[in-house]
Each structure stands twice: as structure tokens, then as C-alpha cells.
Amino acid sequence: MVGYLSTYYQKTMLGWGFLIDSIFSDKKRFKYLTKVMPDSLQMMYAMLDMFAMFQWNRVAIYYTPNQAQLCDTMINDVITAFSDDALSYTVDVVQKVAYNGQDSDYLTEQLLRTKRITRIVLICLDTAQYRRTFMKKVSLMDMISEEYVYVMIGVRGFGFGRQ
């Protein structure tokens, strides 16, 4: 909202937290907006460098979709960065799971599939409760060891995004 208001009223505004969507980096469209943190696409390119350093080339993604589309935006930027053919290193997203925060048969099936195809899991889960439920489940399924890497991304806890 602050990005659109700064453009409409032509007033310089400082924003952080929920301005992580890469759309707000368009300097022509949002010329009055100043951000104190990079957008999610820039962060995902930095994460791609980490994946390249460790030679991780397959990843499963678990995220919570919601009306604010915080994780949706970040996951779209992950896919954009990881599949950028202009770069020397790409990562295959072998599984993408929309997770509703519940321990269910669906989650069990998806985690069993993850267990078969990759050991690197990227998660963007909206609340601490969702993260606890998810990590409890992977622990019960014996998916917590030096074999597995869980990379947690999200915007909660930054600026106005604090819980």
C-alpha cells in the first residue's frame, strides 16, 4: 500500500518488511519509494549462490499460500532465480507443495515423495505454529539428520511484518 500511496501523492516514503515483492524495485513506477532491504528476487539470487557453493541442484519447496501472498511472491521469485538460463548454475525445483499448516495424510504423502527425490527442502511457512507442526512431522518421519537441509525463508519478523 505504501508503495502505491507514495506514487499517487508523489511523496517520498521509507518502507520495509512487506515491500519485499520485486515489483517495488521498479524505479520508474515507484520513484518516490525508498526501501531499507532488498527485494525477494535479489535475495533468491543470493540464495542461488549458496546452492551453487554447496552444489545443491534439486530442491523441494513447501509454502503456505494466503490472501496476502507473502510466501507465494517469494516462491515465484525462487523459481525465477533458480531457473534463470542466463546464469551458469540452475537448480531444479522437483516438488512444490502448498501446505495448509495441518498434519494430514496429504502432508505425509508429500514428505514421503520428498524423501525419495531430494534432501534439500526450502520452506516458507507463515506462522511459528506452522513451522513447528512441519518440523515435528519431518522429525517423526526420520527426516532430521545430516542428510537433510532445511532452508527457511520468509518476511515475518522484519519491520512491520513482526508477529
- DSSP string covering 40-55, please? HHHHHHHHHHHHHHHT
Domain 40-161 grouped into CATH 3.30.43.10: no
Residue 147: band (very low, low, confident or very high) from pLDDT cuts 50, 70, 90: very high
pLDDT at 121 over 90: yes
| pLDDT value for 19 | 54
What the block records as the C-alpha cell of 33 is 519509494
Render pLDDT for 49-108 as a digit per residue (tens, 0 to 9).
999 999 999 999 999 987 767 788 889 999 999 999 899 999 999 999 999 888 889 999
Residue with cell 531457473: 83
Whether this prediction's pTM lies above 0.85 is answered by no
pLDDT of residue 137: 96
Alpha-carbon gap, residue 93 to 60, rounded angstroms: 6
- Each domain of the chain, given as residue ranges in start order, spans 2-35, 40-161
Which helix (H) or strand (E) is 23 found in, with range?
Answer: none
Question: How far is it, in rounded angstroms, from Cα 15 to Cα 88?
Answer: 33
User: What does the alpha-carbon distance between residue 95 and residue 34 come to, in Å, rounded to a whole number?
Assistant: 35
| Confidence label for 2 from pLDDT (cuts 50, 70 and 90) | low
Largest Cα separation within the chain, whole Å, is 55
Report residue 85 as a C-alpha cell: 538460463
